[in-house]
Amino acid sequence: MLVTELTHVLFAQVVAPVVAPENAEFSFWKIMFHGGIFAKIVMATVILLGVFSVYLFFERFFFIKRMTSKTDSNFMNNIEDFVRNGKIDSALDYCKTQNSPEARILEKGITRLGRPVSDIVSAMESQTQIEVANMEKNLNLLAVVPSIAPMLGLLGTVIGMILAFYKLSEAEGSFSPKTLSEGIYTALGQTAVGLAVAIPANFAYNLLLTRIDKFVLNAQNMSGEFLDVINKPL
């Protein structure tokens, strides 16, 4: 019966071409919430995921930017002067006043002066991991959005298509192509919204990871410079 009705619909479209009304306007917002209660729930969930990802991105972005911009441009030069002049306490106080990830990393290294180099390196690496963990806080939630949003959109599309063809199978007599087309474009609109949320979220997540990787690289370079300072002959 379903195949027969689809044949009638296609035949009707060929025999009598559909003419769009002159005042017809495309409204994506109308398409998103045109379906039933399930479609509205899916759309609301996907939109909430989008809002959440935007908030999380900007919160993490400015947090990372604020943390990595605290260090004085002459930080390493001042640390070198303190260490080479034997002013270890002054170097520790200077690190505390900076209150930046780089300063906390070097502070751990300075407190281990006099011990084997492996202990100094281990202490700085442990502090680096702590700083990275602070920067990556809640990033796992942002990473989930690019996976969940398209799946929710696809779920809404599948359910919408099922309902559209169910109405087609239950129709008696002549069947308007408009009824079927409304169900199809409403269903596909949910996948489009899911992708519209997932793509920027994935870009934002990778952008934050890039900034964190840059911080790790700078921390490694700074640690190497500090080891050169303490191993340099007086």
Q: What is the pLDDT of residues 4-42, one digit of tens each?
A: 444 454 444 434 444 444 455 555 556 665 666 777 788
In the chain, count H helices and then E strands: 9, 0
Pull the structure tokens for residue 141.
């939630």
* Rounded Cα gap, residues 111 and 232, in angstroms: 18
pLDDT in tens, 65-95: 988 877 777 888 888 888 888 888 888 998 8
SS3 48: helix
- According to the model, what pLDDT value does residue 233 have? 59
pLDDT in tens, 179-234: 666 667 777 778 888 899 999 999 999 999 999 999 999 989 988 888 888 877 55
pLDDT in tens, 87-124: 888 889 988 888 889 889 999 999 988 888 889 999 99
Go through 125-137 and write b for each residue having 16 or more CB atoms within 10 A of its CB, e for each that does not: bebbeebeeebbe
Pull the structure tokens for residue 58.
């900007």
pLDDT category of residue 173 using cuts at 50, 70 and 90: low
Of 132 and 23, more confident: 132
Domain range summary for the chain, segments of one domain joined by +: 2-9+30-65+139-220, 71-136
Indicate the pTM of the whole model: 0.76
